[in-house]
Structure 1
Amino acid sequence: MKGIFPIDKFKQLQTPFYYYNTELLRETLALVRQEADKYNYHIHYAVKANANHKILTIIRENGLGADCVSGGEIKACLEAGFPAGKIVYAGVGKADWEINLGLDNNIFCFNVESAAELEVINELAGIKGKIAPIALRINPEVDAHTHAYITTGLKENKFGINLSQMNGIIDRFDTLKNVKLIGLHFHIGSQITDLTSFQALCSRVNEIQESMYRRQIIIPNLNFGGGLGIDYHHPNRQPIPDFKEYFAIFHKHVKLRPIQQVHFEPGRSIVGQCGSLITKVLYVKEGSYKKFAILDAGFTELIRPAFYQAYHKIENITSDGEIEKYDVVGPICESSDCFGKEIDLNKVHRGDLIALRSAGAYGEIMASRYNCRELPKAYYSDTL
């Protein structure tokens, strides 16, 4: 495990920092393209997972589009060279300036999440004399069996349009002259490892399509979002998710009409495993019944364990000592600043380097300056 990191170079750098294995990222992207191209699927990288400029540039160079959820993400993608015609824009709270940004740059599609939003986009597009391309984000009522905070496809979630409202909203397009319905969008959640959830999504979409076909409506684009999970427990064993099986499920189970195109929005599954948070041990604190490894990184650098109670594999990459158990914690003045309890690590000493794996997604992008901390730097395997 330690062999995957240039430890001698790490020792010369100020911790904490993010380290990206760009070779693994490119290998992942090559596989995504290989498997998606079998079926002529369109891939839009979900920028919210990681908007690091170099990471975005590598993804763009590999031909992917972008899935954005804010005006800032649209700007970041345009700056990284993404064609506006490959950008889709989702989000329940699009501000007017963000909608106008998308309209001004002629992005591919707005993934609309409410009737109220549809009216606003129609109004703003009308002011500019434009026709806004729209996909309706539909809640398919499919349980992704994932963490409650990252489940998105149920009627009680804030995202999307409930199935019971769909036909009524589609009928509005007859009176809204500055929007055009070009797609249906679905996203049932994140970090999904039970692929049968995607089969259930396919079945529900087939039902929706049949209902619309009876109304003589065929919508040209179907967007199935993202959600494919990664192996946080064994990042070395499976550094690239099973995109072959993932895309094959949709090819096998979705009933397409001849004119229809299929889109996906993977994020975590592309960048999650290529990134690690590298941090240094400040102190080893021995209490009456446990040991603490106190790091110079905290939830300001990787919030997922505190926010989602999420697991990240933790490794001592500079020690070959006997395995001991530690509570691995950060320096933030909050009790929730804990990366893991009773973690097996090679014997920890002050100054050891610790790697928190699978931090390429929702690590750097969610970093904060709480406690007036500086944001960490990022380094890359092809330039270090």
Structure 2
Amino acid sequence: MELKDNAYCIQGVQLQQIAEEFGTPVYVYDADKIVSQINTLKDAFADLPLKIKYAVKSLTNLSILKLMRQNGTEVDTVSIQEVKLAMMAGFTPEEILFTPNSVSFSEIQEAVELGVVINIDNISILEQFGHTYGNSKSCCIRLNPHIMAGGNHKISTGHIDSKFGISYYQMRHILRVVKTYNMDISGLHMHTGSDILDAEVFLQGANILFEAAMEFPDLQFIDFGSGFKVAYKESDNTTDIKKLGKRLGAAFRAFCKKYGRDLEIWFEPGKYLVSESGYFLVSANTIKTTPATVFVGVNSGMNHLLRPMMYDAYHEIFNVSNPGGTKRLYSVVGYICETDTFGWDRPMNEVREGDVLAIKNAGAYGISMASNYNSRFRPAEVLVYKGKAHLIRKREEMEDLTRNQVQIEM
């Protein structure tokens, strides 16, 4: 995004014009930013057999999935519905990793029938998989390395109290199950959480996977998950992808030499690829002054962007309509009948009723976590692609709220 001729623009398209054409609230994504993030990751691991498995749960729109496929990524999915969306977008079963948690075995069987790569994070499910398929179907095993990493505790997934993965302390049990059913283990996987800054965290987890991998002679890949930190503020530190590529790449090459052959290296970025591409545009309904605070009440809320209330996530907010206005201090709140705050005490160019505000870093876990709470419609989505704004999801209407309701005779 750039400020050009006193207007905020994406690829030359003004955000104000997008708001006027498509209405607010609306999610807007910059395709060029997504492609840039993909290429940064590719460049960092250019000398390794890399596969980027986009974490679909972060943003599932079919047009985004097609953009990912067009630019050489594959996908990581966590539900059978995401598997089917990925296939609708043109991904082949071999390009789809299925990493569910706490699902029924019947859902895993459905994924097996579709031919996707299965990732298992529970010994009980591993036993059922082995009993059902033996070595006729391969699978990956997700290990919990017991590493505390990431920001908010709700997005840390590799610590000892996490529900995700099989503890690496249970390796002997895993090996007994694999031997009993003569299972074909094609990969090992870990994911420690989001907002990881230090390459040392990946290296610490990598050493655990490398040690475990020596027990499995037929591996095809090792999957390091993701968790790369993106910037939410100008002063934020971010994951140094180039440094990570250099250090983890060297460790991976050394491991492959010890293992006896080259394996593929996989990552599953979600937030890293789409977060910074997204802007959530809302309109200021009211300016309300209290003895302590000046509130800007907007035409959206935690029903559309849950992260600030769910994770205490910080999202920068700026005034699209008045970029040259005097800076004032505002708290931006939503229209949901709950405490519903996007940001406290934010310095912004003066906000007037009717102004369009933009909430940054809205590409990941925005629309994908949206709901109809308070019976509000979910917003539209727009993709700026090759210098043009394209509608990629229509705003919901009243019939969308009632479509699946069944009224009984009263």
Work out whether the TM-score is over 0.5: yes
Bigger mean CA deviation after superposition, 309-318 or 34-43:
34-43
In the alignment, is the contact (CA less than 8 A) between 1:234 and 1:313 conserved in 2? no
Task: Give the structure 2 partner of residue 173 of structure 1.
Answer: 178
Match of 1:365 among 368, 371, 375: 368
Shift, 1:114, TM fit: 1.0
Q: Distance in 1 between matches of 2:239 and 2:22?
A: 31
Task: Give the structure 2 partner of residue 89 of structure 1.
Answer: 98
Bigger mean CA deviation after superposition, 70-79 or 158-167:
158-167
Shift, 1:10, TM fit: 2.1
Aligned length, in residue pairs: 372
Asked whether 1:327 is paired with 2:357, we answer no
Q: Distance in 2 between matches of 1:79 and 1:27?
A: 24
Aligned AA for 1:247? G
| Structure 1: runs of 5+ lacking an equivalent | none
Task: Give the structure 2 partner of residue 261 of structure 1.
Answer: 264
Shift, 1:143, TM fit: 1.8
Asked whether 1:220 is paired with 2:229, we answer no
| Structure 2: runs of 5+ lacking an equivalent | 390-410
Secondary structure, aligned partner of 1:11: helix
Aligned AA for 1:147? N
Output the aligned Cα RMSD: 2.1
Task: Give the structure 2 partner of residue 202 of structure 1.
Answer: 206
Task: Give the structure 1 partner of residue 408 of structure 2.
Answer: none
Q: 1:317 to 1:287 in 2, by over 3 A?
A: same
Shift, 1:133, TM fit: 1.6
1:247-282 C-alpha deviation (Å, 9 max, x unpaired): 223112332222422211111101111111100000
Asked whether 1:142 is paired with 2:147, we answer yes
Task: Give the structure 2 partner of residue 294 of structure 1.
Answer: 297
Match of 1:285 among 288, 292, 295: 288
Q: 1:241 to 1:24 in 2, by over 3 A?
A: farther
Q: Distance in 2 between matches of 1:246 and 1:50?
A: 25
Q: Distance in 1 between matches of 2:241 and 2:92?
A: 24
Q: Distance in 2 between matches of 1:343 and 1:120?
A: 53
Q: 1:355 to 1:152 in 2, by over 3 A?
A: same
Asked whether 1:356 is paired with 2:364, we answer no
Task: Give the structure 1 partner of residue 377 of structure 2.
Answer: 374
Q: Distance in 2 between matches of 1:299 and 1:38?
A: 43
Q: Distance in 1 between matches of 2:365 and 2:28?
A: 14
Task: Give the structure 1 partner of residue 407 of structure 2.
Answer: none
In the alignment, is the contact (CA less than 8 A) between 2:130 and 2:178 conserved in 1? no
Match of 2:247 among 229, 246, 249: 249
In the alignment, is the contact (CA less than 8 A) between 2:55 and 2:268 conserved in 1? yes
| Aligned 1:50-199 pairs, distance under 5 A | 50-107=59-116, 109-125=117-133, 131-176=136-181, 179-199=183-203
Aligned AA for 1:112? I
TM-score by length of 1: 0.91
Q: 1:139 to 1:9 in 2, by over 3 A?
A: closer
Shift, 1:166, TM fit: 1.6
Aligned AA for 1:229? K
In the alignment, is the contact (CA less than 8 A) between 1:100 and 1:124 conserved in 2? no
1:61-108 C-alpha deviation (Å, 9 max, x unpaired): 11211101000110110000011101111122233442123211211x
Asked whether 1:308 is paired with 2:311, we answer yes
Shift, 1:308, TM fit: 0.2
1:155-196 C-alpha deviation (Å, 9 max, x unpaired): 21000111121221122122225x421111111111222333
Shift, 1:218, TM fit: 6.0
In the alignment, is the contact (CA less than 8 A) between 2:19 and 2:26 conserved in 1? no
Bigger mean CA deviation after superposition, 200-209 or 371-380:
200-209
In the alignment, is the contact (CA less than 8 A) between 1:325 and 1:345 conserved in 2? yes
1:116-143 C-alpha deviation (Å, 9 max, x unpaired): 11123335547xxx82221111111222
Match of 1:38 among 47, 55, 60: 47
Q: Distance in 2 between matches of 1:23 and 1:302?
A: 23
Q: 1:105 to 1:10 in 2, by over 3 A?
A: same
Q: Distance in 2 between matches of 1:132 and 1:332?
A: 48
In the alignment, is the contact (CA less than 8 A) between 2:281 and 2:356 conserved in 1? yes
TM-score by length of 2: 0.85
